Structure 1
Amino acid sequence: MNAASDARFWDRTSRRYAKSAIGDPAGYERTLERTRALLRPDSRVLELGCGTGTTALRLAADAGSYLATDISAGMIAIANEKLAASPVPALAFRIATAEALAQEAARFDIVMGFNYLHLVRDLPGTLRSIHGLLAAQGLFISKTPCVGDMNPLIRLLLPAMRAIGAAPYASAFREAELKQHMEAAGFEILAVEDHATKGTENRPCIVARKR
């Protein structure tokens, strides 16, 4: 299993994913509101793991430029279909990873990763790439499940589900571990917030600044 197999998983499930409902709509709206408050009309924004573009289409009008990326060509194809139906001048979608983008010259004022970090295979390396993608004092906004703090049955089921192709790769770090990795990558954590309005998942919204 590798990044290419991850991309194939999301390609296979992209149409079904696009039809799925948001699990906690009120919590999602709270995260959008919190994020929007950090955007400026001239902000250069990068979203990693954008999926089918739902969040990008909601936020891009509040930024100067907004590049939304995903590892899956299937997800990006659906995102571009949505964009064609409801154009947002500041928004562009692209197949890319944080590691690939870090090799380019572009730098961003804000990088976002929603439901993203638990899906990457090299968390410390990805966080270092994100740090490198940010301009001085840039912000990283993350909201992702901390599987290690959730029901132990989930941690037991994930490997079996991956083995039969029913789940993607997902790591099982705890919130404390995630914060440690972020600080080790060169971030100052400014805020850790719980936006959930239902359920018991630990999915902290973290705002961090590049040191």
Structure 2
Amino acid sequence: MLIHPARFWNFMARGYARRPVKDTKSYQHKLDITASYLQPTDTVFEFGCGSGTTSLIHAPRVSHIDAIDFSSEMIAIANEKASAKEIQNVKFSVSTLQDWPQPQNGSRYDAVLGMSILHLLPDLDDALAQVHRLMKPGAYFFSSTVCLGDMSALIHLALAPFGALGLLPKVLPLKADGTQKTMRLYSSSQGNLFN
């Protein structure tokens, strides 16, 4: 691969952080749904947190958030934002989901967030297994992601060569129905609630 995904996102981070959210109505809807399940005593984990916006918005609603991204530049931006807003209950760390240490039973999370990230992971089943190990029984998993498989075939065909050449990160061509089915099947087989 010519461009390692972490290097790609390190390069893109400052520009990405400066861009406003394109669909503010949808983003606010996702925030509202997630917030309706969060409790002041909750500990939360977010993977693929990017520049930290979502974690920082939810921080006043919960006890603590551990938020990770494999891009060191994204985490630097997230820490700058937390410092500017004087938010101290979010810990941002450079890590992949696979490398994050598995918590002991008493320190698992009440909620896990994987927002706009599942389509960028190398293996959805492995990611869901990792998420399950992080969750307390009855915890919630919140996710929204791009379902490239539901979009025009031309979009997928246009992006695929750039991913294959290593010029862009590879994107899983997820479909909404298949992704929801995978989560439901995984949820029932693991005995945890995925939302």
**TM score, norm. by length of structure 2:** 0.90
Does the C-alpha gap of structure 1 residues 18 and 56 become closer, same or farther in structure 2, counting only changes over 3 Å? same
What is the Cα deviation at residue 78 of structure 1?
A: 0.7
Letter in 1 for 2:81: K
Counterpart Cα distance in 1 of 2:69 and 2:60: 20
What is the Cα deviation at residue 100 of structure 1?
A: 1.8
Contact (CA 8 Å) 1:50, 1:69: kept in 2 or not? yes
Give the count of matched residue pairs.
189
The 5-angstrom pairing of residues 5-24 of structure 1 reads 5-24=4-23
Contact (CA 8 Å) 2:35, 2:61: kept in 1 or not? yes
What is the Cα deviation at residue 180 of structure 1?
A: 2.5
- Percent identity over paired residues: 34
* 12-21 or 107-116: bigger deviation: 12-21
Contact (CA 8 Å) 2:82, 2:88: kept in 1 or not? no
The residue matched to 1:209 in structure 2 has which SS? coil
Contact (CA 8 Å) 1:102, 1:130: kept in 2 or not? no
Letter in 2 for 1:146: C
The residue matched to 2:51 in structure 1 has which SS? coil
Counterpart Cα distance in 2 of 1:65 and 1:56: 10
- Determine the structure 1 residue equivalent to 2:26: 27
The 5-angstrom pairing of residues 174-185 of structure 1 reads 174-185=175-186
- Determine the structure 1 residue equivalent to 2:141: 140
Letter in 1 for 2:53: T
Is 2:98 aligned against 1:93?
no
Counterpart Cα distance in 2 of 1:37 and 1:180: 24
What is the Cα deviation at residue 110 of structure 1?
A: 0.1
Q: Deviations over 1:116-172 (max 9, x none)?
A: 10000011001110011100111100011111011211110112333262x322100
Contact (CA 8 Å) 2:4, 2:166: kept in 1 or not? no
What is the Cα deviation at residue 21 of structure 1?
A: 1.9
Q: Deviations over 1:77-106 (max 9, x none)?
A: 111111111121211111122222253434
Counterpart Cα distance in 2 of 1:17 and 1:84: 19
Q: Deviations over 1:7-35 (max 9, x none)?
A: 11111111111112211011111111111
Counterpart Cα distance in 2 of 1:112 and 1:30: 15
Q: Deviations over 1:40-71 (max 9, x none)?
A: 00011011111001111111110111111111
Counterpart Cα distance in 2 of 1:187 and 1:95: 31
What is the Cα deviation at residue 187 of structure 1?
A: 5.1
Is 2:153 aligned against 1:152?
yes
Please state which structure has a larger fraction of its residues in helix. 2
The 5-angstrom pairing of residues 20-59 of structure 1 reads 20-59=19-58
Contact (CA 8 Å) 2:9, 2:74: kept in 1 or not? yes
Counterpart Cα distance in 2 of 1:128 and 1:183: 13
Give the RMSD, CA atoms, in angstroms.
2.0
The residue matched to 1:93 in structure 2 has which SS? strand
Unaligned runs of 5+ in 2: none
Contact (CA 8 Å) 1:102, 1:129: kept in 2 or not? no
